[in-house]
Structure 1
């Protein structure tokens, strides 16, 4: 009789232990470090930081000396119903389905506040579900080979027999899927064959070709690699292009164009130079290859170079070649011109008092305090403006609350450069919720203020004793011109209503002011028609202009 062999399918539950950090007593600063493993004694440390360090070192010692995770262990987190990462269902909620899986790992789960650390021998899915878990070791995969141990519930044979059958028992039926070496007992003498092969006797063994002999290693020869082809304008530069200098020039130009595209700020002068080099190189390439497409690309590069160069001249305020001398402007960049126009627009919208004199004074004080809302002022700065009663006007600005000064108005008018008066404009002072109306920096403010003083105090305007309204009109015309000096964008003229609004004057006064500026040589060829003022700034005042681009 066979002996019945029994095996168990039970898995060992994964290990788990915890290292805790608890206060040693109420109102005390020392802490107690304890470990759930029975062989570890508790420790008392003087502070929480020292206790946390000791707890981490204790945990690391266990991980270094402890056994590795076991592949046959049952997930310790699953044994605790995964309560650490699955929220328990309410009375009217369905429980969240969860299935363990993956390799068995040794994971460390830490408290967010650093009060305890728990080591679990669990599955990798549960370890990944913990937001603070860290896997420190992974069990090797179990051996999947079929074991030779007997199957539970089946009797072992008493002795060997035919095909493993026990003596005294009938032989089992032939396995229909079993492959035999010879022909079947009642089968034909030949194996089945198909139309594409000749019949072969079933008993004959099929010859297997011998494995190919390993190839001998090739002799080590230097690998010849062709240099990488350059690329420019969606064209590949042939590596065999001659002369070599042309090939290198095309390759370098392609790299320079790609580097230019990565720049934060455009440089139109550099771009024009690159297009010039590209036009010359493509023309030489077209002569060698007789490719009409390359010749067309060379012509397009010439046009692009001319356009970039002209745009650069316009942006920098320079006259194109053959159209007059270069203008050396006080404000040299487009950003500075835009900031100047922004200040004029802000003053026109927020002037606290009516009239051209008040607006001119507000403009000069705004430029003094534009960046931080505070600045220094002396009496000569106010007395130099074309104002009928500067002291009274300053007093009105102080009374309305737009201007604040350290001292009295009389002290301000009597102050000198060695002892200036501190002034502040509350509406221009930046706050946390309001950075202020202007975006330029500390270095830009004195440039704008100096430009306005140069325009208002221009020599011929002072000699002609023009009033505040004429000075305001001169500022407006200087900021509303094209590159060549003609008034308005593209030289089309300036709207008369905008000039009247900016100068704070009556419409009937504007023609007289235009005549004054023409007499002083500020404006040439003026004409007022169809609601527009056309003309051109005199050449001597072009350095004061801020072109519209």
Structure 2
């Protein structure tokens, strides 16, 4: 007896479904997975050893259920197709339609047919296994679905089972004695149970072969179709390894989006694979837009790697031997580049060469960098400039570099609840913009400079504006390991920090000694026209990452 589309569901029993799932459990970094089964009698299991152990246990659990079903008489010929009961959602034309909110096929438009078969389905990501009784046509239409056994027609099934009541779930001792059912999964892991079998007594009704374009069963090539980056991977794309890689990448990106916590290292690896795959796809197809997508993926991988370096607090360019300092950086590498661009701007545009003026210009520029306006308080100004605040502000206002809504005295008396609104005309939007960073980076840079200039040990030593400028300059020009200058260079040319701090080269050594005494620099040397040194461990987070 075949399952006809017009048959009434109330005349049949519902097709049985067993669903086994593998999900993360607890914190993703712990690597623990949970195995759950839709059967109430099956308790959840947890595997701290990771997904590989969980998948092995899941395959064993599925085969245990298959053995029990086989011992209980196999699939039932009078069962209603379980796929049809789910509105045939298991073989929708577009696997992503449900996730995008697309409509499922109309029930009346789905034509079930063929004998009832026992099927097993395993998704390619190794997270879901499903055993179901369904019609042969639905089984053939579901990707990665295998028909293991075919039900007898109901009349013959009744004869074969006369005098014996078939139990859907036999005891564990009976299950262990059965070893005639094997499942073949899409991840190609062998089943612990050997052999395949069809129903006893009489030969089964032939099961339609799965569509090769969907299942690829004969060739073993897996899924022929997929999506990545809103592009459909052609089913006939060559080479075949590229098609498989693109499909798997699309699945991997969608799986990543379901994670409860981000993993920048994993995401960077996916972007790198995508860049390589799209570059090859562009070569074989001649589509220039694919090459653009590959370049975007390369950039995304680079940015994500940088995010990971800042997230875990390790230096960039580490050797991976575990000996590198673990530092929670205040600025990213790109933000450090912007910080150095601000220092160059201050050196070129400060209206007076005095160190006190340059220090004020630096801090006020960072407050007004985006819109030409910003807020300061009297506490800010006196903290930066100490007893020189009034004189420096008078100079900036007289040079029209700074505009205040009132007098300098009013600005120095302003409180945090009513700060002074400053205007820097050279940074107003109608002027050419000297900086390319956004408001978030501006805020980060301002906080970075404030931490450097307002360092507690520098304040305790009552170091002047010149020494503070040198502190800011050294912090902005360090390698990832905290040494001054780039890794391949021998420190910094002595004339560069001297020019920024309005000093002569031979005067730099005096201020370097003050920074060493204040535990800003762990060591320093100014011989041979070079400034060599190393940031103290306490200020490594302020390092600028050359």
TM-score, with structure 2 as normaliser: 0.46
Structure with greater helix percent? 2
TM-score, with structure 1 as normaliser: 0.46
